Amino acid sequence: MAFQSPTSTVIRQAQCHCGGLQLECIGEPTKVSLCHCLDCQRRTGSLFSVAAFYPRDAVRIVSDEAGSFRRPSGSGKDVTFHFCRACGSNLWWEAERLPALIGVAVGAFADPGFPLPEQQVWAESRHPWLLLTDLPTHAKNPTPPTMR
């Protein structure tokens, strides 16, 4: 959720599913990126991930009970992921190839008004049927059909 500080700078709060791990991100992200790589698919359990990248000095860890996992990335440089030890949510990461930035999972902001991604990367791994604008849309979960 975004809120305005007394100096009118946007501060967004991100947190894990259980709320035990929290970040504050000051200002607007440097970039927002959607990634289709197979590693992000495995990490999220979804077909892609969306990351907001902030300068290191714009991210404050509010509560840090994080575990971490380091692995090589498709770019050949390592990435360290930080996750909640209680609920397992992956909240932020640090990529060797982007040492001045911290990536934050956009879903952790729980803000439908968050800025759109400006790019898609690793599109060669995109599921070919993934056409988000062509899917039926429901404001909430539809009522299931009556079982007979």
Could you state, in chain order, the average pLDDT of each consecutive group of 10 residues for the chain (148 residues)? 60 95 95 89 90 96 87 88 93 92 96 90 86 58 59
Domain assignment of residue 135, yes or no = no
Range of the domain at 102: 2-127
In a domain, 120, yes or no: yes
Does some domain include residue 117?
yes
**Is 123 inside a domain boundary?**
yes
Is 142 part of any domain? no
What's the pTM? Answer: 0.82
Decide if 143 is inside a domain. Answer: no
- Give pLDDT, residue 57: 96
CA–CA separation, 12 and 111 (whole Å): 9
137 inside domain: no
CATH number where 36 lies: 3.90.1590.10
For the chain, the domain total comes to 1
Yes or no: say if 79 and 94 are a contact pair by the CB < 8 Å rule: yes
